[in-house]
Structure formats: structure tokens, C-alpha cells
Structure 1
Amino acid sequence: MVALGVAGALIGGLSPSIISKKDATSKISEVLNLQETGIREFYSICGACGAGCGIKIGVDGKGNLLYVTSNPNHPQRSICGRGSTGKWLWSHPLRIKKPLKRVGARGEGKFNEISWEQAFDEIASKLREIIDRYGAQSVVVTRHDIRMWNPLFGFLLGTPN
């Protein structure tokens, strides 16, 4: 209740040219509602493509993803179909959450779960084998997103590709 009193005092002192009382009241109600329900919101940039759209992510008190939507304060103000599927991709029941190693013939669909450490060790070993045999230029690092990993990873491997 103290928050409502403080909010009312703040709203009363705001210039109408900055924000309307209706908009301010709406925002304050939204924040108080989030506090009561235990929902936390985070702002980030979507990594589904290279556009870097602003997203708003809602998480409950247990850390479960509730929604991914556009950030209304971001200059772009909307997200595409890829970004809109963020929650669906994250919580889909068929999403692979641990490394799997093929144990049968290709296409047979037989896999065993392995540790992340084993997966990274095997990938590093195979990359080292390829680089030693064919040279660093034989490795291409590619991914369509906005992160710096591509050039950094390529640099660390010694490949300009």
C-alpha cells in the first residue's frame, strides 16, 4: 500500500507533457501486478537472426519461462515469427536438452546420452584432427545471429573462414 501512495504522489507531480496520468497509473498497476504474481521480466535481444530485435521475457518465481514478446521500448517495437516462437522452442517437449551421441548407423535413430564434458572433448578432438590434417582454413565457422562468437571462435581456431 505504501507503494500506491508513493506512486500517487509521483503521478500527481508529473508534467502532462512527459506522461499522462492514465499511462503512469497503468504502468504502476502493471508493476504492482507483476510483484504480486511473482513474475519477473527481463529485457534482451533476440538471437534467432541477425536483426537484434528487442524482446521482453517473463519468468515465474520458479524460473519457468512464461512468455517472450516484443519490447515496446525498443526502437524496432516488434519481433518476427522466429522471435515469436521463443517460448515454444524453449519449452517444446521434443527439445534436446543434453548431448546425444549416435551409436547406430546414420539414419538409424540410435543415440546415447553423454556428458557435456565428453561432448566438448570429442568435438575438440575431431576439430584438432581436421586442422592437423587439412589446415586451419579447412574449418568454416558460421551462424546467422548477432553474436561475436563466429569471429572469435574462428580466430581461436586459426581460420579466416
Structure 2
Amino acid sequence: MILNFSFKPIADRWTAISKFSLDKTYRAVSSATVDVLWQKLENLADVSWHPLFSSTNAPRGLIAKPGLIYQVVTRLTPIPIRIFVERVKPRELLSFRAIAIPGIENRVSYQVESTLCGTYISYSVTLRGWLSPLLWLWIRPYVARVASELANAATERISDWSLGTRDW
């Protein structure tokens, strides 16, 4: 008796799972100028507006530059995640890659665009890897709020300037 067994169906399923990809973009409108929004984004030490991050090891006033690697602690776990700054186009685009867990590739980009209606903030998330569906289920409610929280933080900063309550 000869047994013939093929691993092809198992390999095909594994390939389909490992090639999982999710691209999601969120947009928000702010009355703040591009400069104010960009200052909020570019200051890596201030993550008070971010719904997913609680703290960072970046020194105060550190500005995002390509190739920079720093750590962020999330509100969900006390485990630090390394963040790699990929691309920076001043006042337009800021792109990061999270280096956290093998099996997950997470890229995040912020785009700021000035229009007649206000300043648009686009927040794009790309998840790849076989653990990405689980991560997405866990972080989806927080990710959906990032663009709007940034817009609110920039608008608060403008109102604080106009009231003279803070020294900048």
C-alpha cells in the first residue's frame, strides 16, 4: 500500500493567510493651519493627542527625520514598540513603520492638505502579515479616532493661542 499525501492545500492556505493586507484611510477636517498641524505631528515627544500611544522615549523637541528610530508605549500594553520614520515631506507627508512583532508589518502615514474648506488630515494604516487580522480587531477603535484627535488637538492649540493661556 502506497500513501500519497500532498502538502499543497496546506501551503496554499498558509500563503493566503500570510499575504493578508489591509489598507484603511481616515480623514478629518480642521480649522487649524497646516503649520499648526505639522508642528503637532512633527513633535515626536508629544503624543498626548494620540488615542493609541501613551508615551515615547523621544527627547522633547525632537523633530521627525527619515531614518530615525524611537520607542513608543501604547495605552493597550506596557511593551514598547519601535517606530522607524520612513519619509518626511515638510508640511505634507509623514510616514512611519512600526517594528513590533514578527508576522506583522504596520505602516502609518499622515498627509496634511490645505483647502478652502479647512485643512484635511489623512491618516492611512497598512497592515500586512499573518497576525494582522488579530491586531486589526484589537486596534481598530483607536485607529479610527487618530485623525479626528489630531484635528481637535490642533484646534485647541489655536484657541489657547488666541486666549493667551499658554506660552509657545
Q: TM-score, normalised by structure 2?
A: 0.26
Quick check: which has more Rg, 1 or 2? 1
Q: TM-score, normalised by structure 1?
A: 0.27
Q: More relative contact order in 1 or in 2 (CA 8 Å, sep 6+)?
A: 2
Judging by fraction of residues, say which structure has more helix: 1
Judging by fraction of residues, say which structure has more strand: 2
